Each structure stands twice: as structure tokens, then as C-alpha cells.
């Protein structure tokens, strides 16, 4: 550390030189040598959403989970090819190596010995156990609860390095707890007094968790910027290659892309859902590259099967058994016509480019899970759609909108505010016009739409629209928890504070019965077959209409090597290996 | 230096002295006609209004027609202003967007002026009202606009949509929201001016001869505070157009397939380096409208201002 | 009520000055629902950048607007006036999200002179870092000042025009006062009355920030905090912020009224 005076002297000289030079050169050339060096050792990451906490158990937001992944590590993680790799664990437990019990009711992890937290405390199974109980505590409102579903308890081995997770029922895929960036290991000593109801109040701990990862938190400004320092205790000698990471949040996607690709101020920008021509144009500036990774993200239309008429007031979009059905979307032929009238290739061309592919499935990846039964949707079939509607008795009215028994095919179609989505909306509106369907478009700010505030009428869970559009995906590589999202008990409503993933409000006991069968199946082939069956069930009954298999798109500065856009885990999963070359 | 203060001969006063029996509105019109900026402004404004009103009948391309094969085109015979990234014709969009932008701008401006002036005059002229009305103004100033907008729109959107249809409903809502949140500055300024003018001799004189309060306000106060009102009006139009684009930016404005100038500018902003026409035309349209209204306002003020006239 | 009037101000003072007042650890704190941290901390963290950027742009705006307004009124319909009117109208009629973008493309992308992203962690420790700070606030200040100046100069101009032809001006000239004295002592003083109101009333908006400009340049100040709080339905945060703004508005209203009386002897407060 230089004394303030010398530092002052230095910069005074430097800036005098600058003033004499007469113009304002860019930062890099203007600074003295040591600052140049410092720039090499600092990695600047830009997320256009700003993290609000670094405790992934308290937030479901990707921004928070990704920011925390620099500090906190799970036992195992996924790489960009959807393969599971041991991180803090010695190896991945399987049936073959005895890690998973024959009855599928427990899984035993062995920790690598000698790992220390950044404050020097050794990592033991007690920390793992503490983390599990921390999340299982019903009072804390754990956001990663899905990873810990059916967990009954934990057992620490005598060597303090093994931990057994016990399940209440057979688990076909027991890799939920402590796998992936949503369920990393916390430091027991740090969070001991922060369990249950107190969890929310420990801002000091939540803003600077002590972890085993490559970096430690130096400064956290909620909703703004995080500064990380190198973890001197990191288990790999020489890694990470950066001394400092700056994680800035806020703004919107296009300017984030510009800061990496055109001005070169930042090294990495996340989730760039921007029109392909803009990205291509920015990439041509030569300062960075755009990379896409296809995970399980599917942009889809959610078909509201309940009546969303505002006149219903409290019963709007409320599922009440078979009553309160949607006046026309409850008709299977209407839903089918809407789906096949869409030209998905045009949507890709206009809004996604290389970052999207037409999709007819809600589980599009990993590739072995993708069903082949629905491929026909990739071709637009206007005539067929018109024929179906005619046959079902929806006859073309004088104003070009189909009517049946006084019900007009007039749709309110909402999504979040994002220029790509508004483009898609406009295109689909025109396609539906050709089959005699009238569409009113609405867009809601993303922070509100995805904000899950039970008091707001504009959240996607409320679904106060006929059709809504957004992207959904599943965490990790296994769709076991994801398929449960379309069961009856997941329908959002006042009883569950409008929390639930079944926005289309479909309820089919036959489907519900198939879900646990798939979840308890451990045989890989059979599991895949069941997953496809469930996917086809939803897709062919048009509860949700898949549109586009989306990639995660990120921009990376040319001088940085190492980032692989990983759609299966935290994007910054391998940040310890990132290095600046040139 | 001194020369510039000599009033030039286009001033209506010279006409008045010539003894013609002109009605007050004729004087206003003559003064207006003699104002070069005003004429240019009025000309440009007429062109814009005509283009917006008649344009869609002459240029019959559907502004909402998408053709992905025709995207991001430059200027051509088929698309005089090019197309956007979904292949929509820009000229048709600018024309149809103008109608909405202008109607929103004017209606909201009039609403906010009427409310602002009424409250400002009442508060400034009648001491009795001053306290409560100014506290009301403070209350509105203190209310942060955005939450207010969010709440109003959330509460009334569906009711209005059901009553008047999606487009008319949202139009009324937006006009109301902009009008109701932008009158406070006008009210404060008008009150300040009224306070000052109330103490003037001619008002005192009118009061002493027993002129009814209402006619004092209408005949003596209002004409004297017209100039700040005019400035507020011109700024109000621009403000309304921009607020409307900000609402779109926040996802609260018109539906996304309903082009307005503000929205076109916002949507086109990211394409500035690919198809600059997408920002130039809507931007130019907004600026020209505001500019021409401003020039007309200037001239109108000079023409109406009684101090100039009665000298 | 006690929370807002007693506890939170004390928390605020403590955060700003670093002093301990009374039993601060057991005092109740309003916590944000989103970040779960005390609201006051969030506000104090963001105050500097808002003051730097929005405050400075306001000051710059005033210093640019007043001379332009005065001169274009004094030389009404001259070239200077016409150009001034045109520029200020463009400044007013083009939204800041657009001017901001143009500025970024020009100064950051094409010339690479200025950073397009504001570094909130930057600390001014000497001349060099002050220079960096100046560079990073240059664009947001420019964009906002352009907008503010456009508005203010219109008011200044119209207010000057009001007074230029009044009797007292003629009297002053007739007395043989120098032109300079007439302009500055008589006309300017009287025409400043409404303008000063405008300026005083606008001061609270400095604190509420400029939401769009803050978002474009990622200044992450109070305006951005308010908008994310509203969108995220973070009610404690919205309440505290609006309460803060309300106090500021009341305060500056009072100041505006007092200035009125000070500048215009005809106005009497009884």
C-alpha cells in the first residue's frame, strides 16, 4: 500500500502530463504502468440485472446465484456439456460405486480432504449438514427447496468427511441436494445464528458469505456492484488468475453488449436477448465475441385454460375444478390451430438468429430427453389450422374474426417488456390474423412480470391474460422436478399466495399419476421414455405451446480466455480457469 | 445595444394607431401574421397535422404489416423511409404514430393547463384558497410520479379496457395520467404571477370600482399571466409526448403494436447504427412539432399580451 | 410514525457521519424486503453518485441556461435567439434515453474518450482519480444538463421578455441609468422571481434522480433504487424513499416562498 501522499504525487504528475498533452485519451493509455498491470489482473463482469444478495438460498434470481458462485461451491457441478463433475466431492456417487443405496433412499458423498474455507476453517461434513438443515428449516423460506425435495435428514460419517442424504421415498435422480450452483455449501460458523426466521436479517452474512470458491467478497453494494478479491486459501495453487473481479449490475442488455463488444470496458456480459443483427453489428467492432450455449430454455406460450374475464373480479383466472373454464381456449381444436398457425422459423430469423432454434418440445435438451413425436409443428400449416377451426364450428365473421355461439376468438397476449419479445408478439399476431383470430398485445416490465408479488395483477402467476409468453427451463440436467410443474397442486391461486408453476391451470389426474412414476425411476432408458411421454402429454394437449429452443447468449472480450457459456449451471462456473492472454 | 430595444414596425400597436376599427381577435391575428417565426411554425405544424390526418389515406400501406423478408431496408421507392427489423414500413408507422402522439400531447397538455391555471389563479387571487390549494399542489409534487402512474394504471386499466375497448381505454388513461401529474409546475408559476399582478394598480382600481371578482380574473389577471401559460403549454406538449414514450419504456404505455413517435424512437434506438432512419424520422417529427408549437406560442403571446397592445 | 421521524433520521445521521448516537444497535431499522438490509444503508450508499451526477448536471444546467435565456430575450428574434430556441427545443423534445445513446455511440464507441459505464466504487483520492471521475460523469451530466438547461432557458427567456417593456424599465432608462445597470439591477432581478421558483422546486428532483439517465449510464443512484423498489414491490424501501422526497419537497417549497418575498417586495406574507 502506498501512502496517500505518494499516491497523490504520482497521479498529480500523471495528470499534469495528461493536461499538457491536451486531450482526453482513453483510460488505458492515460494511466501509468502500474495501473495498466492492475487492469490485467482485474476481471470486469457486467450483468444487466443487479444482484440483491449473495446467499443463493434466499434468492431464486440467476443474477444472485451466478454472483454467489464465485464464492460458494457445491459438491458437484455441471459443465457446458451437461456432464456432472465432482467439485468438493471426491467422486460422483452412483449405484455402481455404492454411493447410492439399492433402495434409492439415500446417497453418500465423500468430501475431498484438506479443503479450507477462505477464512481458514477446514471444510467438513458438518458444514454440509448445516447447509442442508439451513435450507430444510421451514421458517426460512428456502429458494432452493426444490433441490431438497423428499429429503428426510442427513448423517455425518465418523471421519467428518462423508455425508449421507436420506430421502423419504425412492429417488430416481438423487443429485438434487448440494449439486449445482443453487445449492452450494455455506460456512456453519458464519451462519450458525442465521437460521430460520433470522436468515433474512443477517445482511452482513448474506452479503459476504465465506466460501471455498476462488474469490472472496471485498465489497458488496446491493443492487449495484460487487468487488471480489482473490481467495488466497483456494485449493488450486496459482489459481485464480485474476486478483480482483468487479461484478457490475444494472441497465439493459443492448448497452451491456456494447460495453464488451464495442467499447471494451468490460470483459463479460450476460444474457443478451437482443435482435441478432444488432449483436452481429457490435461483434464486428472486433473487441469481443458472442457465444451461445443451448440448455433447456424454451420460449413458450402459456395457454390460460381458465376464464380471465376482468368482470369475474376475484375469480379471474382462478381454477375451480371444471368450472370457470376459458370460453374458447378450453377447446382443444382452438389451441391446436393456434400452435400450427405459427411459423417458428420466422420467429427465429427475426429475433434470435444463431441463438435460437424452432422447438416443438418443452424438454428440448439434453438431446436424449428430446421427444421426436412433435416435429410436425416446425412447418406452418395455415390451411390445416383454418380447416380445424371450421370443423369445430368456429366460423369466420364479417370482421375477419371467427365466432361460435357469440364467442369471438379474441386473445389478450401478454409478455415481459423486451424488444425481441415484442417483435415475436407482433409476428404471431399477424400469423393468427390469417386464421381469423384477433390479438391484443400487452407487455409488462420484466421486474413486475417475473416479480411474483402476490399483490400485483401483472405477474405471470396471476396470468390475467389469455396467452402469455416467457422462457422457462429446468435446473441441472434432470427434468424430474420440472415435469411436476404441470400437476394440479402447482396451480397458482389465492390458497398458495399465487406461487406455483402451472400457469396454464391445466389439471389432469392421469398426468398427475404419471409424474411420481417417472421421478422414482432409476433406470436411465426407462426414465428418458417416461420424460418424453410427459412432455408429449403437455405439448399434444397444448397446455403450453413451445416456440423456440433458446440459447444463453453472452459476450466475452477477446483478451479473456476460458469462459464457456454453460447453460446447465452457473455461467461463471469455471471462473478460476479464466485468464487474460495477449 | 439601444437599437435593439426599439420596437420594430411589425408591432400591432402601429396598426392600432392607424385608427382602423379592428376587433381584438383581428389584432391578434394581424400580429401573429407579422411574426416570421410564427408563420414558419404554423406552416410546419399544418404540414405535420395534414400529413398525419390525410397521410394514411394517401399512403395506404398498413403500418402493422410485417414482412420478415423486407427487414432493415433503406430508402426505396416501395418503402420511402425504409423498414424496421420486422419489415414494417417506417413511413406508414411514423404517420400513424403521429396521430396518437399529437392527440395525446394536446389533450394531456390542455388538461394539465386547465387544472394548473385554475388552481394557480384561485390560490393566487383568493387568499382563502391559497393554503389548501397550495398544500394540494405540494401533495401532488411530493407524490413520486412513478408509483402513482403504476398504481393508477394497474387499478383502472382493465375497467377502462372493458368500457371503451383496449385502444380508447388506454388513450384516456394515458392522457389522464399525464395531465394529472404535470399541472403542478404550471399552478405554482401561475400562482406566483397572480400574486404579483394582484398587487398592481389596475387590479386595485378594478376592485375599487366594484368589478365582480370573476371578471377581474378573466379580464385582468388571465391576460397578464398568459405568457408563462403559453410557455408551459409548449413545454407541456413536448413533456406529454416524452412521458408517453417513457411509459412505453416502462411497459405501461400503449400496446406494443400501437406505434407512437416516442415508442418508435425508443424501439429504433438500438438500431441507430444499422438503420438510422428509424430514429431520425420519429425524432425529427417530435422536435419539429414541439418547435413549431413553441414558435406559435411565442407569437401568440406577443400578440395577446395587453401590455404590448395598450402601450 | 416514530420510526420515520426519530429512528430513521438518527440511523441516517449515523451512517453519514459515522457517529454513534445513543443505543444504536437496539434501535429498530426499516429493512428492504428485497435485499433484507437496512433501507438507510442502501440510500446512503447511493447518495454520493446521485449528488455527483444529477446535482452537478443541475448546476451546469442553471449556469448554461441563465445567460442563454437572458441574452436571447434581450436580443429577441436575433440569430442567437433563434438558434438558442432551436437547440433548447431539441434538447427538450428528445428523450434522454436517446441523447444518452447518441452520446455513448459518439464518445465511447467511436472516439473512445469517455467510459459508458459509471464506476460507483471509484474514490476520488487525488487529481488523477478526480480526472477519472470527471470523465465518467461527463456524459450523464452532459445529457441531463442539456435537458435541464433547455427547460430553464425557456423560462428565463420568457420571464425576461415580460419585464423588458414594462414602465419601470423605461423609467430606469429615463433616469439615465447605464444599460448594464438597467438589465442587471432592474430587469434581471424581477425576471428571476419565477425562475428562482422553478430552480428551487426542481432541487428535490436531484435527489429523486433521473431514472432513465441513471439506467443508461448505470449510475445506480437513488432514482434507479426507487424504480427497482417499485417494480419489485419493496414497500419499506419505497416508503422510506418517498418520505425522504416529501420532506425535501416541503423544505424547498418553503425556500421558494421565502425567496419570492426576498426578491419581490410587493409580495407580503402575513
Mean pLDDT score, B231-253: 75
Domain that holds residue B174: 64-295
Cβ count near A245 (within 10 Å): 26
HSE (CB half, 13 Å, CA atoms) of A450? Answer: 16
Distance, in Å, from the CA atom of B202 to the CA atom of A95, rounded to the nearest integer, reads 100
Query: Do the Cβ atoms of A250 and C224 come within 8 Å?
Result: yes
| Inside any domain, residue B112 | yes
| Inside any domain, residue B26 | no
HSE (CB half, 13 Å, CA atoms) of A355? Answer: 26
Task: Yes or no: say if A114 and A235 are a contact pair by the CB < 8 Å rule.
Answer: yes
Instruction: Give the residue from A168, A142, A174 showing the smallest Cα distance to A153.
Output: A168
Distance, in Å, from the CA atom of B105 to the CA atom of B113, rounded to the nearest integer, reads 12
| Inside any domain, residue C247 | yes
> Is pLDDT of A6 > 60?
no
Please give the full DSSP string across A130-191, using - where no structure is assigned. Answer: HHHHHHH-TTS--TTGGGGTTEEEEEE-TTSSEEEEEESS--S----TTBSTTS-PPPHHHH
Binned at pLDDT 50, 70 and 90, residue A24 comes out as very low
ipTM of the complex: 0.79
Which CATH number fits the domain that encloses residue B100? Answer: 1.10.3720.10
Distance, in Å, from the CA atom of A97 to the CA atom of A111, rounded to the nearest integer, reads 15
Candidate ranges A170-174, A319-323, A523-527, A547-551; pick with highest mean pLDDT: A547-551
The grid cell for A215 is 474469490
Q: Quick one: pLDDT at residue B142?
A: 63
Query: Do the Cβ atoms of B138 and C227 come within 8 Å?
Result: no
**Same fold? A5-250, A294-552:** no
Q: Quick one: pLDDT at residue A7?
A: 38
pLDDT in tens, A322-353: 788 999 999 999 999 999 999 999 999 888 98
Nearest to C179 among B1, B37, B286 (CB): B1
Higher-confidence residue of A29 and A554: namely A554
Q: Does C205 touch chain A (CB under 8 A)?
A: no
Distance, in Å, from the CA atom of A363 to the CA atom of A535, rounded to the nearest integer, reads 6
> Is pLDDT of B10 > 50?
no
Q: Coil, strand, or helix at residue C12? A: helix
Q: Quick one: pLDDT at residue A70?
A: 94
Binned at pLDDT 50, 70 and 90, residue A260 comes out as very high
| Inside any domain, residue B27 | no
| Inside any domain, residue C103 | yes
Binned at pLDDT 50, 70 and 90, residue A432 comes out as very high
b/e burial code for range A135-160 (CB count within 10 A of at least 16 → b): bbeeebebbbebbbbbbeebebeeee
Distance, in Å, from the CA atom of A370 to the CA atom of A546, rounded to the nearest integer, reads 13
Mean pLDDT score, B267-288: 84
What phi and psi values does residue B91 have, to the nearest 5 degrees?
A: -60, -50
Mean pLDDT score, B1-14: 40
Interface subset of B 244-303, CB within 8 angstroms of C: 245-246, 249, 262, 265-266, 269-270, 272-273, 279, 283, 286-287, 289-291, 294-295, 298, 301
Query: Do the Cβ atoms of C34 and A255 come within 8 Å?
Result: no
Contacts of B64 in chain A (CB under 8 A): 426, 430
> Is pLDDT of A14 > 80?
no
Q: Quick one: pLDDT at residue A10?
A: 39
| Inside any domain, residue C39 | no
Distance, in Å, from the CA atom of A295 to the CA atom of A566, rounded to the nearest integer, reads 8
| Inside any domain, residue C2 | no
Could you identify the residue written with the cell 389432469?
A508
Q: Which residues contact A110 (CB under 8 A, 6 or more apart)?
A: A89, A90, A91, A93, A161, A162
Binned at pLDDT 50, 70 and 90, residue B47 comes out as very high
Instruction: Give chain C's domain count.
Output: 1
The CA distance from B221 to the nearest CA of chain A, in Å, is 45
| Inside any domain, residue C268 | no
| Inside any domain, residue B310 | no
The grid cell for A259 is 460495453
Instruction: Give the residue from B186, B287, B174, B272 showing the smallest Cα distance to B227.
Output: B186
pLDDT in tens, C146-164: 888 888 888 888 888 878 8
| Inside any domain, residue B307 | no
Q: Quick one: pLDDT at residue B306?
A: 54
Distance, in Å, from the CA atom of A173 to the CA atom of A320, rounded to the nearest integer, reads 33
Binned at pLDDT 50, 70 and 90, residue A27 comes out as very low
Domain that holds residue C145: 47-263
Q: Quick one: pLDDT at residue C12?
A: 67
Q: Which residues contact B280 (CB under 8 A, 6 or more apart)?
A: none
Query: Do the Cβ atoms of A445 and B162 come within 8 Å?
Result: no
| Inside any domain, residue B2 | no
Fold for domain A294-552? Dipeptide-binding Protein; domain 3 (3.10.105)
Query: Do the Cβ atoms of C120 and A219 come within 8 Å?
Result: no
Q: Quick one: pLDDT at residue C26?
A: 56
Q: Which residues contact B136 (CB under 8 A, 6 or more apart)?
A: B119
Q: What is the longest distance spanned by two Cα atoms in chain B?
A: 76
pLDDT in tens, B291-303: 787 777 777 766 6
Binned at pLDDT 50, 70 and 90, residue A365 comes out as confident
pLDDT in tens, C227-253: 788 777 777 888 888 788 778 877 887
Instruction: Give chain B's domain count.
Output: 1
Which range has the worst mean pLDDT, A13-17, B112-116, B138-142, B203-207?
A: A13-17
Q: Quick one: pLDDT at residue C83?
A: 87
- CA-CA distances (angstroms) from residue B225 to A337, B32, B125, C244? 63, 19, 12, 33
| Inside any domain, residue C91 | yes
Paired strand residues for A443: A415
Binned at pLDDT 50, 70 and 90, residue C16 comes out as low
Distance, in Å, from the CA atom of C115 to the CA atom of C130, rounded to the nearest integer, reads 14
| Inside any domain, residue B171 | yes
Query: Do the Cβ atoms of A430 and B66 come within 8 Å?
Result: yes
Binned at pLDDT 50, 70 and 90, residue A76 comes out as very high
> Is pLDDT of A31 > 60?
no
> Is pLDDT of B275 > 60?
yes
Please give the full DSSP string across A58-96, using - where no structure is assigned. Answer: G---HHHHHHHTTT---SEEE-TTS-EEESSBSS---TT
Q: Quick one: pLDDT at residue A88?
A: 94
Interface subset of A 220-239, CB within 8 angstroms of C: 221-225, 227
Nearest to C35 among A15, A18, A223 (CB): A223
Q: Quick one: pLDDT at residue C269?
A: 59
Fold for domain A5-250? D-Maltodextrin-Binding Protein; domain 2 (3.40.190)
Nearest to A346 among B68, B252, B257 (CB): B68
> Is pLDDT of B231 > 80?
no
Binned at pLDDT 50, 70 and 90, residue B250 comes out as low
Q: What single-letter DSSP state applies at residue A320?
A: B
Binned at pLDDT 50, 70 and 90, residue A30 comes out as very low
pLDDT in tens, B129-155: 888 888 888 778 766 666 677 677 767
- Percent of chain C predicted with pLDDT > 90: 0
| Inside any domain, residue B6 | no
Cβ count near B307 (within 10 Å): 13
b/e burial code for range A276-301 (CB count within 10 A of at least 16 → b): bbbbebbbeeebbebbbbbbbbbbbb
Classify residue A443 by burial, with Cβ atoms within 10 Å: 0-12, 13-18, 19+: buried
pLDDT in tens, C79-96: 888 888 788 877 877 777
Distance, in Å, from the CA atom of A560 to the CA atom of A582, rounded to the nearest integer, reads 9
Binned at pLDDT 50, 70 and 90, residue C101 comes out as confident
Alpha helices in A310-413 (DSSP H): 332-340, 344-351, 382-391
For residue B174, give the H/E element and its range: helix B145-180
Task: Yes or no: say if B100 and B258 are a contact pair by the CB < 8 Å rule.
Answer: yes
Which range has the worst mean pLDDT, A479-488, B147-156, B212-221, C1-10?
A: C1-10
Mean pLDDT score, C21-36: 66
Interface subset of C 46-105, CB within 8 angstroms of A: 46, 101, 104
> Is pLDDT of C178 > 60?
yes
pLDDT in tens, A367-408: 889 999 888 889 999 999 999 999 999 999 889 999 999 899
Distance, in Å, from the CA atom of B81 to the CA atom of C84, rounded to the nearest integer, reads 30
Q: Quick one: pLDDT at residue C246?
A: 78
Which CATH number fits the domain that encloses residue C173? Answer: 1.10.3720.10
Interface subset of A 244-283, CB within 8 angstroms of C: 246, 248-252, 255, 258-259, 262-266
Mean pLDDT score, A134-147: 85
Torsion angle, CA of C213/C218/C219/C223, rounded to 10 degrees? 60
Q: Does A375 touch chain C (CB under 8 A)?
A: no
The domain segmentation of chain A, as residue ranges, is 5-250, 294-552
Q: Quick one: pLDDT at residue C22?
A: 57
- Computed over every residue of chain A, the mean pLDDT equals 86
Q: Quick one: pLDDT at residue C208?
A: 66
Classify residue A258 by burial, with Cβ atoms within 10 Å: 0-12, 13-18, 19+: buried
Mean pLDDT score, C197-212: 74
Amino acid at each position: 500500500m502506498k501512502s496517500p501522499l505518494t499516491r497523490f504525487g504520482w497521479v498529480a504528475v500523471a495528470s499534469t502530463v495528461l493536461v499538457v498533452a491536451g486531450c482526453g485519451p482513453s483510460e488505458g493509455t492515460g494511466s501509468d504502468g502500474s495501473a495498466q498491470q492492475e487492469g490485467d489482473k482485474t476481471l470486469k463482469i457486467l450483468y444487466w440485472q443487479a444482484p440483491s444478495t449473495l446467499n443463493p438460498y434466499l434468492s431464486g434470481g440467476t443474477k444472485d446465484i451466478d454472483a454467489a458462485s464465485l464464492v460458494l461451491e457445491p459438491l458437484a457441478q455441471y459443465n457446458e456439456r451437461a456432464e456432472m463433475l465432482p467439485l468438493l466431492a471426491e467422486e460422483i456417487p452412483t449405484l455402481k460405486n455404492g454411493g447410492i443405496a439399492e433402495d434409492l433412499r439415500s446417497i453418500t458423498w465423500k468430501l475431498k480432504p484438506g479443503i479450507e474455507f477462505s477464512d481458514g476453517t477446514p471444510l467438513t461434513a458438518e458444514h454440509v449438514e448445516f447447509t442442508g438443515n439451513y435450507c430444510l428449516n421451514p421458517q426460512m423460506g428456502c429458494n432452493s427447496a426444490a433441490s431438497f425435495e423428499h429429503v428426510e435428514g442427513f448423517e455425518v460419517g465418523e471421519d467428518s468427511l462423508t455425508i449421507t442424504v436420506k430421502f423419504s421415498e425412492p429417488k430416481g435422480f438423487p443429485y438434487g441436494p448440494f449439486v449445482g450452483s443453487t445449492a452450494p455449501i455455506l460456512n456453519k460458523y458464519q451462519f450458525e445464528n442465521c437460521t430460520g426466521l433470522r436468515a433474512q436479517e443477517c445482511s452482513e452474512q448474506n452479503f459476504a458469505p465465506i466460501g471455498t470458491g476462488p474469490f472472496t467478497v471485498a465489497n458488496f453494494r446491493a443492487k449495484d456492484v460487487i468487488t471480489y478479491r482473490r481467495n488466497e486459501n483456494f485449493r488450486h495453487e496459482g489459481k485464480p488468475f485474476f486478483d480482483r473481479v468487479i461484478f457490475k449490475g444494472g441497465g439493459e442488455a443492448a448497452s451491456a453488449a456494447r460495453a464488451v463488444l464495442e467499447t471494451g470496458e468490460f470483459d463479460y456480459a450476460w444474457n443478451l436477448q437482443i435482435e441478432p443483427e444488432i449483436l452481429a453489428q457490435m461483434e464486428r467492432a472486433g473487441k469481443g465475441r458472442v457465444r451461445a450455449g443451448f440448455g433447456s430454455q424454451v420460449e413458450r406460450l402459456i395457454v390460460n385454460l381458465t376464464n380471465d374475464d376482468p368482470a369475474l373480479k376475484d375469480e379471474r383466472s382462478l381454477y375451480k375444478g371444471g368450472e370457470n373454464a376459458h370460453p374458447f381456449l378450453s377447446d382443444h381444436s382452438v389451441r391446436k390451430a393456434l400452435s400450427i398457425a405459427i411459423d417458428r422459423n420466422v420467429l427465429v430469423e427475426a429475433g434470435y438468429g444463431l441463438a435460437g432454434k424452432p422447438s416443438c418440445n418443452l424438454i428440448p435438451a439434453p438431446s436424449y430427453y428430446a421427444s421426436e413425436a412433435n416435429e410436425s409443428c416446425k412447418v406452418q400449416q395455415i390451411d390445416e389450422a383454418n380447416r380445424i377451426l371450421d370443423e369445430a364450428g368456429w366460423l369466420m365473421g364479417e370482421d375477419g374474426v371467427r365466432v361460435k355461439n357469440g364467442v369471438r376468438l379474441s386473445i389478450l397476449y401478454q409478455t415481459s417488456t423486451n424488444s425481441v419479445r415484442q417483435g415475436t408478439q407482433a409476428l404471431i399476431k399477424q400469423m393468427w390474423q390469417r386464421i381469423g383470430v384477433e390479438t391484443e398485445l400487452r407487455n409488462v416490465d420484466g421486474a413486475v412480470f417475473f416479480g411474483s408479488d402476490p399483490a400485483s395483477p401483472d405477474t405471470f402467476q396471476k396470468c390475467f391474460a389469455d396467452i402469455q409468453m416467457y422462457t422457462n427451463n429446468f435446473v441441472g440436467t434432470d427434468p424430474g422436478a420440472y415435469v411436476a410443474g404441470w400437476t394440479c397442486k402447482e396451480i397458482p391461486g389465492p390458497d398458495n399466495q399465487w406461487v406455483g408453476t402451472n400457469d396454464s391451470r391445466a389439471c389432469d389426474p392421469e398426468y398427475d399419476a404419471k409424474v411420481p412414476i417417472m421421478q422414482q425411476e432409476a433406470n436411465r432408458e426407462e426414465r428418458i421414455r417416461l420424460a418424453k411421454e410427459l412432455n408429449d402429454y403437455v405439448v399434444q394437449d397444448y397446455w403450453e405451446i413451445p416456440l423456440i429452443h433458446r440459447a444463453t447468449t453472452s459476450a466475452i472480450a477477446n483478451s479473456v480466455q476460458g469462459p464457456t457459456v454453460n447453460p446447465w449451471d452457473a455461467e461463471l462456473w469455471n471462473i478460476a480457469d479464466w485468464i487474460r492472454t495477449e | 445595444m439601444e437599437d435593439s430595444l426599439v420596437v420594430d414596425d411589425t408591432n400591432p400597436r402601429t396598426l392600432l394607431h392607424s385608427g382602423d376599427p379592428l376587433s381584438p381577435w383581428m389584432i391578434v391575428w394581424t400580429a401573429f401574421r407579422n411574426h416570421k417565426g410564427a408563420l414558419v411554425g404554423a406552416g410546419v405544424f399544418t404540414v405535420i397535422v395534414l400529413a398525419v390526418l390525410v397521410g394514411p389515406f394517401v399512403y395506404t400501406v398498413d403500418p402493422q404489416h410485417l414482412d420478415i423478408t423486407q427487414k432493415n431496408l433503406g430508402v426505396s421507392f416501395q418503402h420511402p423511409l425504409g423498414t424496421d427489423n420486422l419489415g414494417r414500413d417506417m413511413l406508414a408507422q411514423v404517420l400513424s404514430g403521429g396521430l396518437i402522439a399529437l392527440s395525446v400531447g394536446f389533450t394531456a397538455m390542455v388538461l394539465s393547463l386547465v387544472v394548473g391555471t385554475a388552481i394557480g389563479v384561485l390560490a393566487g387571487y383568493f387568499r382563502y384558497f391559497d393554503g389548501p390549494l397550495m398544500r394540494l399542489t405540494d401533495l401532488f409534487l411530493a407524490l413520486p410520479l412513478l408509483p402513482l402512474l403504476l398504481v393508477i394504471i394497474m387499478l383502472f386499466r382493465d375497467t377502462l379496457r372493458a368500457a371503451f375497448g383496449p385502444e380508447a381505454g388506454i388513450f384516456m388513461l394515458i392522457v389522464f395520467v399525464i395531465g394529472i401529474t404535470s399541472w403542478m409546475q404550471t399552478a405554482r408559476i401561475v400562482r406566483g404571477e397572480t400574486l404579483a399582478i394582484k398587487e398592481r394598480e389596475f387590479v386595485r382600481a378594478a376592485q375599487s370600482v366594484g368589478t365582480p371578482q370573476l371578471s377581474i380574473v378573466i379580464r385582468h389577471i388571465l391576460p397578464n399571466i398568459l405568457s408563462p401559460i403559453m410557455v408551459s403549454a409548449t413545454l407541456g406538449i413536448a413533456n406529454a409526448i416524452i412521458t408517453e414514450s417513457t411509459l412505453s419504456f416502462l411497459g405501461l404505455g400503449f400496446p406494443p403494436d400501437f406505434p407512437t413517435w416516442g415508442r418508435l424512437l425508443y424501439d429504433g434506438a438500438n438500431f441507430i447504427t444499422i438503420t438510422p432512419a428509424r430514429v431520425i424520422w420519429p425524432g425529427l417529427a417530435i422536435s419539429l412539432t414541439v418547435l413549431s408549437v413553441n414558435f406559435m406560442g411565442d407569437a401568440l403571446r406577443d400578440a395577446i399580451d395587453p401590455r404590448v397592445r395598450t402601450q | 410514525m416514530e420510526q420515520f421521524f426519530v429512528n430513521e433520521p438518527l440511523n441516517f445521521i449515523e451512517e453519514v457521519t459515522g457517529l454513534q448516537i445513543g443505543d444504536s444497535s437496539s434501535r429498530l431499522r426499516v429493512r428492504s424486503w428485497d435485499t433484507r438490509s437496512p433501507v438507510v444503508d442502501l440510500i446512503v450508499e447511493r447518495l454520493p453518485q446521485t449528488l455527483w451526477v444529477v446535482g452537478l448536471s443541475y448546476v451546469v444546467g442553471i449556469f448554461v441556461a441563465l445567460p442563454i435565456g437572458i441574452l436571447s430575450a434581450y436580443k429577441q428574434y436575433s440569430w442567437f435567439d433563434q438558434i438558442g430556441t432551436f437547440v433548447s427545443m431539441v434538447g427538450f423534445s428528445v428523450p434522454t434515453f436517446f441523447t444518452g445513446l447518441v452520446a455513448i455511440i459518439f464518445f465511447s464507441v467511436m472516439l473512445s474518450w469517455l467510459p459508458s459505464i459509471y464506476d460507483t466504487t471509484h474514490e476520488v483520492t487525488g487529481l488523477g482519480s478526480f480526472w477519472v471521475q470527471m470523465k465518467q460523469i461527463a456524459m450523464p451530466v452532459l445529457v441531463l444538463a442539456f435537458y435541464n438547461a433547455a427547460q430553464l432557458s425557456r423560462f428565463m427567456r420568457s420571464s425576461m421578455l415580460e419585464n423588458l417593456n414594462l414602465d419601470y424599465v423605461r423609467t430606469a432608462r429615463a433616469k439615465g441609468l447605464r444599460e448594464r445597470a438597467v438589465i442587471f439591477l432592474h430587469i434581471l432581478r424581477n425576471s428571476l422571481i419565477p425562475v428562482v421558483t422553478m430552480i428551487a422546486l426542481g432541487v428535490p428532483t436531484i435527489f429523486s434522480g433521473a431514472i432513465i439517465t441513471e439506467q443508461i449510464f448505470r449510475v445506480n443512484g437513488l432514482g434507479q433504487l426507487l424504480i427497482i423498489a417499485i417494480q419489485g414491490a419493496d414497500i419499506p424501501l419505497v416508503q422510506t424513499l418517498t418520505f425522504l422526497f416529501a420532506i425535501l419537497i416541503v423544505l424547498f417549497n418553503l425556500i421558494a416562498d421565502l425567496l419570492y418575498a426576498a426578491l419581490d417586495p410587493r409580495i407580503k406574507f402575513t
